[in-house]
Chains A and B, each alone.
Chain A
């Protein structure tokens, strides 16, 4: 691991000031950053430890019904917070479907949003990779691309974003609160992660020195609590990243779908949410045909990067239909023993 200066600021303004120095990385739990530093993929000159910053660890309900989650809240604490899990069961299920219990006990909300792609050519630290070494090319194109994107990719990068948590957050219009050298601002999660385009090295909307301070879920998100599921297909039942996943949430009114939310994971460098897919469900009777139409809309324009990941398109369609079917059947009283698993009983 490359040597670095270690700084432990006492406040958010101090952290932001320390974070402006080029080559700085903020350290939360380190479950992604330290891993990448060991592999020589992340080589910060300065590490700013934010784990002790005051004011970033609360889960609050604001007077208008918004839920605000501090950036340092641990993934497992959020998933097991009774009020949070009751109102946003789909988010809790996605959190519990990620990583392992040990990693969730450590991992923070901010770190989960900021985790880097699992593209093996990015993480090997040596292959040409436009994300890691801008302008060097993309070793993945034309090689082993089973886990790579089928939506929103470019000739410069075909990676996917690996977070489970972010998929339901995108479906629920979550907002990211940011503190920075020029003051505070807020960005919708769906605009936070960037598609690769010509600049795959620019992964998020964060500017140098900016720090995520909290995440907000708008009041409407809780309207879906009775019909919301996350479904994750992975290469083993637990402790594996998603190949494809779906967050599906409905309101049912008089036997018809009122509002619908659908976001897919594993397809692109950000959670994939398509307005037409949700519009196709609104006002319909819940039925396999309606779900299939929505899934088709969500997959419109999908293109594999090669033969290796062509299966993802049909898989994603089926995962979307299944997640919608499960959502319509109702949120289970307790998160299943195998969260988000296609092998569970519900």
Chain B
């Protein structure tokens, strides 16, 4: 039994015939669609390496069955930049050295994009740390990650104020 799925993936409409309902969103992306940006750290919701946005909200792709996402809009790290122009959160991670080995980075960046959209943390370091606690970094690049998110969050606020 195949399960037909319609997704909008990084802005592109996709039709997928899912042959197995056990496939998670993470495995669909990595194993079947060749999008290996989202990482498989723990595969059990404990590390955040697999963070992507579904309908604009950050979630753990490893615990989400792909079959349940018919009609959803999915944004992964591959869809974040506009051509060669990096997304401001990506640029901030580079500017502030928000990584070392880079394994957790796609998840950190997608989580930060989600956090900024949620609009609860502002640039308050304690609220950002708490809001990013679902993303572990084994290299311990937390200081740089915090600075990057603060910087990007500050710019996003300025942009909103300019637009208003």
Give Cα A290 to B45, complex, Å.
42
Given A1-B22, A238-B133, A337-B127, A105-B57 contact (CB < 8 Å)? yes
Report chain A residues within 8 Å CB of B129. Answer: 238
Per-residue B-contact encoding for A79-91, CB less than 8 Å = 1, 0 else: 0100000000000
Which B-chain residue is minimally distant from A239 (CB atoms)? B133
Known: A35-B44, A101-B58. A47 touches B21 (CB 8 A): yes
A-B pair count, CB < 8 Å, reads 99
A136 interfacial by beta-carbon distance below 8 Å: no
**Beta-carbon contact of A30 and B63 below 8 Å:** yes
B120 touches A (CB below 8 Å): yes
Find out whether the CB atom of A239 lies under 8 angstroms from the CB atom of B134: yes
Known: A337-B126, A338-B126. A30 touches B65 (CB 8 A): yes
Number of interface residues of B (CB under 8 A): 36
Question: Is A222 interfacial (CB-CB < 8 Å)?
Answer: no
Closest to A36 in B: B44
- CB-based contact B118/A101 at 8 Å: yes
A337 to B64, CA, bound (A): 28
Chain A residue, CB-CB nearest to B64:
A30
B131 touches which of A3, A49, A101 (Cβ 8 Å):
A101
A52 to B67, CA, bound (A): 12
A4 within 8 A of B: yes
Whether A3 contacts B22 by the Cβ 8 Å rule is yes
Q: A56 CB to closest chain B CB, in angstroms?
A: 14
Q: Which residue of A lies closest to B56 (CB)?
A: A105
B158 within 8 A of A: no
Q: A35-B44, A238-B133, A239-B134 are in contact. Are A105 and B126 (CB under 8 A)?
A: no
Q: Is B114 an interface residue (CB 8 A)?
A: yes
Contact pick for B59, options A37, A106, A337, A338, CB 8 Å: A106
Q: Which of B78-136 contact A (CB under 8 A)?
A: 111, 114-115, 118, 120, 124, 126-127, 129-135
Output the least CB separation between B109 and chain A (Å). Answer: 13
Instruction: Tell which of A38, A52, A337 touches B43, judged by Cβ atoms closer than 8 Å.
Output: A38
Tell me which of A1, A6, A51 has the highest count of chain B C-beta atoms within 10 A of its own C-beta. A6
Contacts of A29 in B (CB 8 A): 59, 63-64
Report which residue of B51, B68, B70 has the largest number of chain A beta carbons within 10 angstroms of its beta carbon. Answer: B68
As a 0/1 sequence over residues 1 to 41 of chain A, the CB contacts with chain B under 8 angstroms (1 = contact) are 10111101000000000000000000101110011011100
Also in contact, A27 and B130, with CB within 8 A (given A100-B48, A101-B114):
no
| A102 x B67 contact (CB < 8 A) | no
- Tell whether, in the assembled complex, residue A35 and residue B63 are in contact, meaning their CB atoms are under 8 Å apart: yes
Asked if B150 is at the interface of the complex by the 8 Å CB criterion, the answer is no
Q: Does B24 contact A (CB under 8 A)?
A: yes
Whether A101 touches B63, Cβ cut-off 8 Å, given contacts A6-B21, A338-B126, is no
Q: Which residues of B contact A3 (CB under 8 A)?
A: 20, 22
**A27 contacts across to B, CB distance below 8 A:** 65, 68
Residue-by-residue, is B42-73 near A (CB-CB < 8 Å gives 1, otherwise 0)? 01110010010000011110011101101000
Whether A103 is near chain B, meaning CB under 8 Å from some CB there, is yes
Distance A99 CA – B24 CA, assembled complex (angstroms): 20
- Asked if B3 is at the interface of the complex by the 8 Å CB criterion, the answer is yes
Given the complex of chains A and B, what is the CA–CA distance between A133 and B31 in angstroms?
34
Q: Which B residues contact A (CB, under 8 angstroms)?
A: 1, 3, 20-22, 24, 43-45, 48, 51, 57-60, 63-65, 67-68, 70, 111, 114-115, 118, 120, 124, 126-127, 129-135
- A29-B64, A106-B63, A238-B129 known; 10 new pairs, CB 8 Å cut-off, are A6-B3, A8-B67, A29-B63, A31-B60, A47-B65, A80-B120, A99-B134, A100-B48, A101-B58, A339-B130
The 7 closest A-B pairs by CB, nearest first: A100-B134, A6-B21, A238-B133, A337-B126, A239-B133, A105-B57, A337-B127
